[in-house]
Structure 1
């Protein structure tokens, strides 16, 4: 097998009897040493060096038997280094008579497999212990390929190795050579020089029988090489594990010594409170632990001189760790104080059921009110005094907070389409309740649907739905009060002011109310305007709730190519909300589209046809969860989106409210979070004499 040539190019040691006669051997005695042995061979002329002699300068003068005894106690890497120091030592150590030295050195390595038959002891020691590339002699090459018997750097591996995926190697060659795997080369890898040698040898044999015999011999040798390589790989892994354990023990001893020094300086209590392992918080704050410090993790014993050099650095580190601990303790204390306020607020709401008829601040909102936040942050004040100080003013604070929310939404309304009609709006809340006040949420699908722990189906395609939001549903829209928990806080237990009910996914928490993601949709507002005009209603006075009560059926005249309901053709009718979604998706909110309200006597027929269509096509009109219980809002029992049947069960079980509530009573207890996907139904044609609005 190919291996690195460790012999000097100008020196060759041979036992060929046909060459020149060797010099006369001398008898080795105690008095004659290496210099006398070399002088007989004609190398007694030496140049005097101007450099001063080192401590081992007299080593060559020792007798050979003493040198051999000394060398036999060394490790293989030491013998390799000696053989590369001087020519004199090289000639001696690479001579066949020095085989016993190499064998003794190899035996000094614990559990090292024996030298294979196809390698000499110096070659085996060079392969196992000399960290240089066998092609370019680059140093510090730690990985040994025991199957190929080589060490190659990354650059040389690309030129000295061949892969069976890149080259079509003959089967006879593959059978003769042991293959291996390299990370940067796909397939089984072989040494290129060995492949060429095998090919040349097989081609040089005269007969097929001789070739087959050669392949059989090489295949047998290949099995031995692989078996020996497996043993060497296991030994190498054990050595690496042992070395890693030794380094860990040295690091642990150094850390213990440093902790003892710091304890003597008064940091013992702080050391006991320090985090021992990384968590999300330490990673987020980019905190360096004690074990991660470069001066601590060095595998060296701690001396007085080393401690004197690192003492200031360690004291600065301990001060930073103390500041981090105090920050966490303050954060945990504030969390407990907010939880206490949340409990008091929950009892306050239970004693006042009338609060559930309108939007009220969540516990997160309450804790963010300036007066209450200042009280919570001031840890010198007893949190038990919160009830006596603020409960009497909570009604006022809730009304003030609600007004702030309403005003924030009204500021999003833009009235360019209708001109300056501010005089028609008497109050801010009246503006929001109008049907023409249409909002949409700019939050992504992930936020809307991943909050549903029970959501089994695929997310509705964006192009097939339009989710408009009207008042009062907009006040309870999920994106206004929920947010994703940052990754560095997901290991922590949230306080009660931000904790959600079991119906929500664990990756979300409560946040103070925010209209950041809500956008006023001017196009949809124009569509509603046109629908109201078709129904003969005043856009500045008609609210979304009133339009729901009227429940008209609308025809899109653009889809009928301008034909009105004349009783001569079938038309497609929709509810007013689905008409808005239809225009926004199909006609892109075209303001020129006109609409017509069908006759009142045909509305009942349209509803019956819709019900029949839904019964015949249940899969095309899935009932998505769209209801939530206001009575449970901001409590641990809060539910996520529910279907109407589950809402009825929830009301009966948790609130002792009879099922089957309809109309406004139903909306007082429940709140629709979003509309169902739009659906189109075919209804009977309108009668010719039916009046049109």
Structure 2
């Protein structure tokens, strides 16, 4: 069994030795303090101010030498070199070591010594940490005192402190302010016989003459600091750019594409855009990482370019689709597949599968193929309609249209999906689609067979991005109650024809003196997820309110956004194929071609349901209190006229 360790004892008396056995080895520079002063000063004269400050912090020997009166020539010599390089000179009233410590001494607080004072307050001539700023800087809320700027009275700088509520504010050193107050108090007592303002201005004149040079020096220091920061920023940028350019050049030499090498993921990589030299050792470790990143960028670029070529080929199909529209019932054109959904039609997917740019040959092949894929279009529409029927909530009503509500029959040789879609086209069938779109309203709430026409819902082949929306369903039911309409018989187009106008007494705008005008679609959109609107207070406009709004809008050239919808190229004829055009053009076509004078929507003309029918929420003026009373309509119109009259 090994013996236990024993403490070392003194051989003479047997006591335990408490002294350390090893002595600290003297360094090579330990002889410097013992050198003659003239040699030391000659050595120190070749250092920078920051180096001298570091030496004073090394040990007491260096500190006593460098802070003695004999070393003043060294400090002046070193600081003179900095002045020749463009640095501001040491100001009067401040010792050279103190100035060197302020400018080159590092982020040490001038008051408490904390290492968190990066900013120099040039006029106050201190570096201060956050704690000392909060405790010893006094905010000067008024930028002047007795009509004079504070910079002529006290040393002051812009800073952020708790006293200034962390806002940029002019501050003075607390001791300087106390000294000023004490001086004012003493002078006012000694010159009590003189006017107070005269005494104050004499003191301020004296301070102005004493602080003018200090202020001028502080301005020079601020300008130099700004210039130095800009030069340093430019220098760092040049170093980063040089490293980045060298790395890009090596990646290009390795055979990578310039489009991938110049990608922002490469340019902004943490190991690329840095101000460090690129050695062979660093590149050896960095090359595999950047190579993998460049290859991933290349793969994404190629995938994006491939998708863009596919979209251009699909666009050719969409450009050719109007050629077969005469073979489709007008009411079914809105439900034909579009965009990426075209790739779900097998007959067209074969033509578009080859990764190539669109060509005249491809266009000719598409024109030849389109008439033959009409049965596939029919199947695609039927399948999607079946998907919608499976999404319906079991508690929702089932359609029960009579013969008067059946859409107009068309000839048998056209593609007609009426039998498939009619039973699903109810206004109370409200769906939500989360797919994004350019329009803020598209892709949110869809009504009836709008869901089938909304292409983003069917971009996924597995299942539609479509969910029934009970909240929207409840709001539509409330709207139908206003008009005493049956949920199982009312289609979205019926509510469009009805053109009901609604407002809400629970909206925040009512408290500000204005209601908001809704149509039935915007009533759902605005009250669905709005916590500030109470859907239970949604109501129809009264007869007086309707008349008031009509009179007000007609005299102020104020129109509903629905009138702008009539100008969009989204209207077609229900008797024959007519390229989508404006509502006025369709009505003119019906009059000239089909001899229909009083054309009506759904019976004579249709709307392209791929486009969302929306109307912006319109603020309406505060309704006079008498409108709700027993007032004649003439009085209502007169009041609206007075409100809408231009202000002189």
Quickly name the TM-score band, shorter chain normalised: 0.5 to 0.7
Contact 2:266 2:293 in 1 (8 A): no
SS at match of 1:57: helix
How far does the alpha carbon of each residue in 1:85-131 deviate from its partner, in whole angstroms, 9 at most, with x for none? 34343333223343222122112222111211121111111111112
Tell me which of the two structures has the higher relative contact order, counting C-alpha pairs closer than 8 angstroms and 6 or more residues apart: 1
Q: Distance in 1 between matches of 2:179 and 2:401?
A: 96
Gaps of 5+ in 1: 1-48, 279-287, 453-466, 484-496, 499-511, 554-576, 591-606, 640-645, 685-693
| Deviation sequence 1:475-512 (CA, Å, 0-9, x none) | 65xxx3479xxxxxxxxxxxxx99xxxxxxxxxxxxx9
Match of 2:135?
Answer: 159
Matched, 1:64 2:37: yes
Q: Whole-Å Cα distance in 2 between the matches of residues 159 and 612 of structure 1?
A: 65
Deviations 1:213-271 (A, max 9, x none): 554332322232221111001111222222233333333343444455556xx62434x
Q: 1:329 aligns with which of 291, 296, 302?
A: 302
CA contact (8 A) 1:524 1:589 kept: no
Are 2:630 and 1:647 equivalent residues in the alignment? Answer: no
Distance 1:667 1:145, change over 3 A: farther
Separation (CA, whole Å) in 2 of partners of 1:106 and 1:91:
19
CA distance in 1, matches of 2:69, 2:246: 51
- Of 125, 128, 134, 2:103 maps to 128
Q: Following the alignment from structure 2 to structure 1, what is the Cα–Cα distance between the partners of residues 499 and 118?
A: 82
The residue that corresponds to 1:438 in the other structure is 428
1:338 aligned to which of 306, 311, 315: 311
Judge conservation of contact 2:331–2:606 (CA < 8 Å) in 1: yes
Structure 1 residue 275 displacement after superposition: 5.2
Distance in 2 between the 1:403 and 1:450 partners?
29
RMSD: 5.6
1:276-316 alpha-carbon deviations (Å, 9 max, x no partner)? 364xxxxxxxxx4244323x3443333344444x2xx4313
Equivalence for 1:176: 153
Matched, 1:399 2:388: no
Deviations 1:23-66 (A, max 9, x none): xxxxxxxxxxxxxxxxxxxxxxxxxx953333333434544334
Partners of 2:148 and 2:553 in 1: CA distance: 69
**For residues 393 and 373 of structure 2, what CA distance do their matches in structure 1 show?**
33
SS at the partner of 1:52? coil
CA–CA distance in 1 between the matches of 2:496 and 2:30? Answer: 107
Query: Which range is displaced more, 138-147 or 405-414?
Result: 405-414
- Choose the corresponding residue for 2:260, options 274, 285, 297: 274
Relative distance call for 1:428 and 1:116 in structure 2 (3 A) is: same
Match for residue 213 of structure 2 among 224, 228, 234: 224
CA–CA separation in structure 2 for the residues paired with 1:674 and 1:170: 67
Which ranges of structure 2 fall in alignment gaps of 5 or more residues? 1-21, 407-417, 501-519, 528-532, 574-578, 621-626, 633-648
Relative distance call for 1:334 and 1:231 in structure 2 (3 A) is same
Separation (CA, whole Å) in 1 of partners of 2:572 and 2:312: 18
Question: SS state of the match for residue 170, structure 2?
Answer: strand
CA distance in 1, matches of 2:75, 2:534: 88
The residue that corresponds to 2:123 in the other structure is 147
The offset of 1:333, in angstroms, is 1.7
For residue 85 of structure 1, the aligned residue among 55, 58, 72 is 58
Alpha-carbon deviations, 1:520-568, whole Å to 9, x = none?
Answer: 73675698699789xxxx997897879999x999xxxxxxxxxxxxxxx
1:299 aligns to what?
Answer: 275
**Length-normalised TM-score, structure 2:** 0.63
State the match for 1:194 in structure 2.
176
Structure 1 residue 613: deviation in Å? 9.5
Report the equivalent of 2:508. Answer: none
Structure 2 CA distance for aligned equivalents of residues 61 and 368 of structure 1: 90
CA 1:469–1:656 in 2, change beyond 3 Å: closer, same or farther? farther
Aligned length: 515
Change (3 A) 1:277 1:232: farther
The 1:81–1:382 alpha-carbon spacing in structure 2 relative to 1, beyond 3 Å, is closer
Distance across 2 between alignment mates of 1:587 and 1:251? 59
- The structure-2 alpha-carbon separation of the partners of 1:201 and 1:664, relative to structure 1 and needing over 3 Å to count, comes to closer
Shift of 1:371: 3.3
TM-score, normalised on structure 1? 0.59
Counterparts in 2 of 1:226 and 1:618: CA distance versus 1, 3 Å: same
Q: Is the 8 A contact 1:163 1:188 kept in 2?
A: yes
CA contact (8 A) 1:173 1:195 kept: no
Give the Å deviation of 1:395: 0.6
Which secondary structure does the structure 1 equivalent of 2:138 belong to?
strand
